[in-house]
């Protein structure tokens, strides 16, 4: 009957829209990974935290990348999952992502052996979330934290936004600010700006006064 045909058509349309959205996310992830990792000559993994939903599976299947994919239970996240990593992290909810903040994975400075690690994470969270839901820590010690190394792909209507956390901008000093780096238009399938090499963060402090401290580093004066 007509009602059954309508429901079938509606389900097909919903499935088509979900597939299109997954394909757009995959394209955006692949594009940004090139600018963030490949053009900086960084090898990277793809890490799925928690459940592999049908949407996440489609996103992974459509990625135009040659990388190892690791699926980690949200109950089995250890520091080794993200320590000394360059990775794409895909997860279902912001709560799972925030659980990483509870792990002081970057506080074990002895493993760093005195060298700066170029940590970079490209984050995609399936379920919509408010940016204020992200766990953010202050950059006032030598240890750093997970949130300071992240770039986020966030679906917003017909756009996919590439954002990152900055503390020093032309607008404010020493305040957490989510800055839009680029926009992907789902209608035109184009980025507002070409994806080029994405440099390290925190290189421009916009004349802000910097305050920090260290309990482990010392300055030695040689005669």
Instruction: Give the whole-angstrom CA distance, residue 136 versus residue 118.
Output: 19
Per-residue pLDDT of the chain (223 residues; tens, 9 = 90+): 555 554 554 454 444 456 688 999 999 999 999 999 999 999 898 999 888 999 999 999 999 887 888 888 766 666 666 666 789 999 999 998 887 765 555 444 444 445 556 778 999 999 999 888 888 877 765 555 778 889 999 998 889 999 999 988 989 988 889 999 999 998 888 999 999 999 888 888 888 887 665 555 444 445 4
Task: Give pLDDT, residue 56.
Answer: 94
Task: Give pLDDT, residue 12.
Answer: 45
CA 171 from chain centre, in angstroms, equals 23
Task: Give pLDDT, residue 100.
Answer: 72
Residue-wise pLDDT for 169-212, tens only, equals 989 988 889 999 999 998 888 999 999 999 888 888 888 887 66
**Element of type H or E holding 176:** strand 173-185
Q: What residues contact residue 176 under an 8 Å CB cut-off, 6+ apart?
A: 136, 165, 167
Task: Give pLDDT, residue 1.
Answer: 58
pTM for this predicted structure: 0.81
Write 175-182 long-range contacts (CB < 8 A, 24+).
176/136, 178/131, 178/152, 181/151, 182/32
Task: Give pLDDT, residue 117.
Answer: 60
Task: Give pLDDT, residue 177.
Answer: 92
């Amino acid at each position: 009957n007509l009602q059954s045909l309508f429901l079938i058509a509606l389900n097909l349309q919903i499935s088509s829209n979900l597939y299109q959205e997954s394909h757009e996310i995959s394209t955006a992830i692949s594009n940004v990974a090139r600018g963030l990792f490949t053009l900086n000559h960084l090898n990277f993994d793809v890490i799925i935290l928690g459940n592999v939903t049908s949407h996440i599976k489609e996103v992974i299947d459509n990625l135009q990348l040659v990388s190892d994919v690791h699926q980690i239970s949200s109950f089995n996240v250890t520091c080794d999952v993200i320590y000394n990593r360059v990775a794409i992290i895909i997860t279902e909810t912001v709560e799972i992502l925030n659980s990483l903040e509870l792990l002081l994975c970057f506080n074990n400075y002895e493993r760093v052996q005195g060298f700066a690690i170029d940590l970079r994470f490209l984050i995609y969270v399936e379920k919509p979330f408010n940016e204020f839901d992200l766990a953010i820590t202050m950059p006032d010690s030598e240890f750093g934290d997970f949130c300071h190394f992240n770039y986020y792909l966030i679906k917003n209507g017909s756009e996919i936004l590439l954002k990152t956390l900055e503390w020093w901008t032309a607008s404010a000093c020493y305040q957490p600010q989510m800055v839009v780096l680029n926009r992907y238009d789902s209608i035109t399938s184009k980025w507002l700006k070409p994806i080029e090499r994405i440099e390290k963060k925190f290189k421009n402090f916009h004349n802000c006064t910097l305050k920090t401290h260290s309990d482990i580093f010392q300055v030695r004066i040689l005669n």
